[in-house]
Structure 1
């Protein structure tokens, strides 16, 4: 858990700085008509944070194994209208959501990390797996945004 928390905290510091080096045009430009802009990718990460935050909380009190409630990421990005929102709004939303996730993780008892989630009929994963996957997913998209890896 501590490794995931450390990674998350580093990104919460670095992301605002890295975006500071990009112009509004670079942030808003879509590489292709049906591809997300950097702004929309960060919005998608807000949606991921919203959906995963409730999973991190529910895992600690609901009957095990939990069921993962899925969401349509394209619909969320479209309906949240990230492309038209001011970028600072999206960035502060992302930082705030991740601060709350970090606060939840910091208070999650070690014995809760083995609580299970049904990922599919064939696969059950632990809360720790979901935490690690959340950071991996976030890093994947941040690397897309900033052109690393």
Structure 2
């Protein structure tokens, strides 16, 4: 868990400044009509954080915990991220991930081994689910801030 926590902490330290440094036109630019803009990607990461924060808390209380998927495209559309101020979405992302960081940091180590059943029936540990969340976050941050 230490590596996962450290990675999330790094993202929280680096992303706000990097996102604010993006040119205004780039924040809402879509590569294609069906693709998300960087602002919508950040909004999706807020939706992911919202869903996973609840999962991380419930999985410490309910055993086995059953992960329920959500309709990601519909969430992004219904939240209207493309039309909202970038700073509002950025602050939401920071706040949600600070909460996730606190949940991860304060979790008793034994709870990390709690069983979580994915929608496809696969069983993983809560620690795996938390690590997967941070990997998913990194994947989408790489879409916003591509490495040359």
Band of TM-score, shorter chain: over 0.9
Aligned length: 148
CA deviation after TM superposition for structure 1 residue 120, in Å? 3.9
Contact kept in structure 1, 2:64 and 2:115, CA below 8 Å: yes
Contact kept in structure 1, 2:52 and 2:133, CA below 8 Å: yes
1:84-120, Cα deviation, whole Å (9 max, x unpaired) = 0000000000000000001111110000001011114
**Matched residue of 1:117: which SS?**
strand
TM superposition score normalised by structure 1: 0.96
**Matched residue of 1:32: which SS?**
coil
1:48 aligned to 2:48? yes
* TM-align CA RMSD: 1.1
**Structure 2: how far apart are the matches of 1:4 and 1:61?**
21
Name structure 2 gaps, 5 residues minimum.
Answer: none
Contact kept in structure 1, 2:69 and 2:119, CA below 8 Å: no
1:2-41, Cα deviation, whole Å (9 max, x unpaired) = 1111100110110011112211110101110111000000
Name structure 1 gaps, 5 residues minimum.
Answer: none
**Which stretch shifts more, 20-29 or 76-85?**
20-29
TM superposition score normalised by structure 2: 0.96
